[in-house]
Structure 1
Amino acid sequence: MLETVEQETGAVPEWSVIWLHGLGADGHDFAPIVPELVRPQWPAIRFVFPHAPKRPVSINNGMPMRAWYDIVSMDFRSRADATGVAESVQQLEALIAREQARGIPASRIVLAGFSQGGAIILSAGLKRSEPVAGLVALSTYLPEVDAAPSQLVDGATSQPVFMAHGSADPVIPLAIAEHSAQVLTTLGFAVQWQRYPMAHQVCGEEIHALGDWLQARFAQA
């Protein structure tokens, strides 16, 4: 089981949000976002921020760092190491199972991720026959996008998706993210797409929009 940073907004959490960080960061990276995101009327939430394992990253001259997968190519269609992606999806599934064991059903678990973390969230979402409450993919893309139709399992498209991206992102070009959103929409996912004048980052307007989207998930439970 991955080590995690956890925050609970109430004594008895009714929901869980599992949030995966980006390349080279760790589970502390998005923890400060909780007070900016959470609203007073929301149910109690457990935020789980796991640390990715350290592994050599090819495009960074093999330097070991926290990464959900190796980046083996500049071509986004083959950029992500498929074995690493599969391993990280399995580790995410273990975290989901732990939340279920702690009393949170899959229908009240939200999966979120930034950059590499978001790529894992989208990959996992395709393969979940037991849907979670929603998928949040920030400044990211769907790995192996051409293979997505063959990876999709029954029931997965019932998971709503929130995707947001910067129009000036120098790490993952906007067109790559837009293509991923279009593919997910074609497959049958309900994708809320947000675009902001920013680089590879998050912004206040984006967090507010995500809050609105999460509030809609809570209201439907």
Structure 2
Amino acid sequence: DLSDQTEVLRSGIAIERLSLLQSELTRLEAERANLKEQIPKLRDVAENQKKLKRDIESLLDLIEADILARDKPRKLAVSTFGEISQFLYNEPGQLVMNRSAKEAGLVIETDIAGKKSGGKNHMQVFCFDWTIAEVAQSYGRSPGFIVHDSHIFDGVDGRQIGLALKQAQMKCDELGFQYIVAMNSDDLQKIKAEEEIEGAEIFDPEPYILPTRLSDREDGGLFGLRF
């Protein structure tokens, strides 16, 4: 009734509620204004996303067209990779170059015989580097040398190490290349151990070993410096 309403007004509760409602209304109006301001920006973002998607598709089509246009060097690279990997594992490996279906760019994949391991991965790098060097040489774009750290032979069997060095030596003679590789002494021992098992020489590295030695002993280092 009227007396109850009058009592509520006297208590100040109605005024407090009105103040809260006004504050909430002000907040909602500000939020509404902000959302209205964001709508055009969201539309611009959506349009930009569509444009970027079209641009990516266009670039991917150009990559695919470029692969087809360079069919001759691509086939040379594939056959060279197969030849080099076959020398190491008695069967040719695979070098595949395709336009990526999911990512923007060119996908290059390699695979060689043997179980998946760190050593196999390193030998894929060895084969790929020599493939690039040989193909580049045929187009007059090669620097004429390859440099590998000792890491290239980590986890690789002695037979593959020996065959890789033999392959590199043959390629150097064929292409007029220089191959520089840092070798751990125990990797050289792996070659000798494998030769003893097979009863035949795989590769003799002695004529190609430079006299410089690096070691972790007290008198070791590089150019007189300790690291």
Q: Which has the higher contact order (CA 8 A, sep 6+)?
A: 1
Q: TM-score normalised to the size of structure 1?
A: 0.29
Rg larger for? 2
Q: TM-score normalised to the size of structure 2?
A: 0.29
